[in-house]
Structure 1
Amino acid sequence: MTRIAFIGLGIMGLPMAKNLVAAGYDVVGYNRSQEAIDKLVAAGGAGATGIADAVSEADVVITMVPDSPDVAGVVQGPDGVFANAKAGALWIDNSSIRPDVAKELAAEAVAAGLGAVDAPVSGGEQGAIDAVLSIMVGGSADDFARAEPVLNAIGKTIVHVGPAGAGQTVKAANQLIVAVNIQALAEAVVFLEAFGVDTDAALTVLGGGLAGSKVLDQKGWKMLNRDFAPGFRLALHNKDLGIVTSAARSVGVTVPLGAAVAQLVNALVARGDGGLDHSGLFKLTAELAGRD
């Protein structure tokens, strides 16, 4: 049985690890909070006392942590993945980080005798729970072939998009599209409410036409109900939009809509709303229109 070490049992990571257990993998998890580890154990997995303990016997190591420094902190150093994983193990990073950092860390992994793919995911908490995530994978063809069966247990659309770092580049594009769509949806909902129309009916019919999207389906009713419990936190989308704008600047590409939405997201985070779902963009949009 393939043994998988899963590091990072957060909103996305825990259901992903549970789905790997359900698929028949031997999963050992590690997280900074014991509560998350206990939930994985209750689902049939095992818990580890630290990173080295989790990865020492693993055939596959998955990391799912918030940002580039977090990934580096998990994999580097004497207590990290690279120093403690067995030779030939495959490292799959499902985190969303900077493409250049992904390339650098993949090279370090290979130097340590490991395979490596960057495989960021899209689909939010519900996609993780339902194992229907979209996963964009960067790395060699051989490492992708090794990773694909594992990724099939947590996702529905798994595509090899190029060499190391390519997965993160495509994920950055995904986050750009999602952010602009959420902002457009927020403006549309404010517009509809201002006219007093039946907003439930309006979203239903809009969802059946060209304006329809997964963003509308998943976020429209959160806006109508003012329910901003996090499926994907604004603080993380703020980080991702920073990656987008920085990467775009590095290659001379302009992203005017993305840059504008990035400023709105940053404003929400700066005022203390970073823990809300990214549909919380609606709050600031409504306030700017003098509505709540």
Structure 2
Amino acid sequence: MAHTPDTTRIAFIGLGIMGAPMARNLLKAGYDVTAYTRQAEKTEAFVKDGGKGASSVAEAVREAHVVITMVPASPEVAEVVLGEGGVLDNLPEGGTLIDMSSITPQTSIEVAEAARAKGIKALDAPVSGGEAGAIEAALSIMVGGEQETFEAAKPVFEALGKTIVRCGPAGSGQTVKAANQLIVAVNIQAVAEAVVFLEKSGVDLTAALDVLNGGLAGSTVLTRKKESILAGSYRPGFTIDLHHKDMGIVTDAARAVGAAVPAGGLVAQLVAALRQQGDGGLDHSALVRGVQRLSGQSPDGG
């Protein structure tokens, strides 16, 4: 069945920075959405906004046609989906599981195989666009799985994003997401180094970033992150902790296929160092703070 709002019940597992606005956009699109997350207050807030709440994964999933999981990493996906009392134990045969977390390609393949054995269709569909893209329903969604399942799920994806592409069989979405995180991390690091270079040179930073963003150096990173960088405010849209996890996926996956990612390896170390400096909960644009420290500046102005 095509997953249209008037015929589809969705269970949404995970109401974090990304998951909460995504679940709300499904409500806005007219879907019947039941949400579960470990923080009861987040479920309560979702119910106040017109959704339904569940006290367990099993309760959320039992009567669903589609389950969307949006949790931090592979261990959480394995627990929620494959674990006792999880999604595959409770989603009716013929249902569709869409995992939109950012995890290892191998975990996605394992999930797809386990789902197939229970008569459940599965897609890995990680996203890019950060909190702003989730709020604006403008995410880029990279999907792995069967073409027929992808086509049936397209209406659900269209409530969440603007660029929706099937990249190949199970695990392909996660492989493309790993490449996305590689590009984003190296881009942010380049912006961070440019910012500190400009600051220490005494240039008008606002003017400099404006003109840079209008030329070949322009990027979504600069567009999305420029104001917070100028303000020195790094409220998380996507945390350093999560990007650290993703850079581990990138480097492991690249090693497995024999691809060299030298710039990615360096930035992975810089992200890891920033976590050790206590900045793991900040937005990933806080890579600026790491470059400031390396350049003899105090990120906090002290």
The question of 1:279 aligning with 2:274 is answered no
Structure 2 counterpart of 1:252: 258
Partners in 1 of 2:45 and 2:212 — Cα distance? 39
Contact 1:185 1:220 in 2 (8 A): no
Tell me by how many angstroms 1:38 deviates: 1.4
1:77 is displaced (CA, Å) by 2.7
Q: Deviation digits for residues 123-166 of structure 1, max 9, x if unmatched?
A: 00000000000000000001101211101000010000000000
* Structure 1 unaligned residues grouped into runs of 5+: none
Structure-1 residue corresponding to 2:90? 84
Residue 57 (1) aligns with residue 67 (2): no
**Worse-matched range after superposition: 15-24 or 36-45:** 36-45
Which of 140, 145, 150 aligns to 1:139? It is 145
| Cα contact 1:134–1:156 (8 A) shared by 2 | yes
Structure 2 residue matching 1:92: 3-state secondary structure: strand
Aligned to 2:3: none
The one-letter code matched in structure 2 to 1:223 is I
Separation in 1, partners of 2:112, 2:86: 14
Paired residue for 2:163, among 157, 162, 178?
A: 157
Residue matched to 2:179: 173
Q: CA RMSD in A?
A: 0.8
CA distance in structure 1 between the partners assigned to 2:139 and 2:48 by the alignment: 23
Aligned residues: 292
The equivalent of 1:42 in structure 2 is 48
Q: TM-score, normalised by structure 2?
A: 0.95
User: 1:1-292 to 2 correspondence within 5 Å?
Assistant: 1=6, 2-292=8-298
- d(CA) in 1 for partners of 2:242, 2:157: 22
TM-score, with length taken from structure 1? 0.99
Identical-residue share of aligned pairs (%): 61
How far does residue 272 in structure 1 lie from its aligned partner after superposition?
Answer: 2.2
In 2, Cα distance between the equivalents of 1:214 and 1:224? 16
Amino acid at match of 1:96: S
Q: Per the alignment, in what secondary structure is the counterpart of residue 68 of structure 2?
A: strand
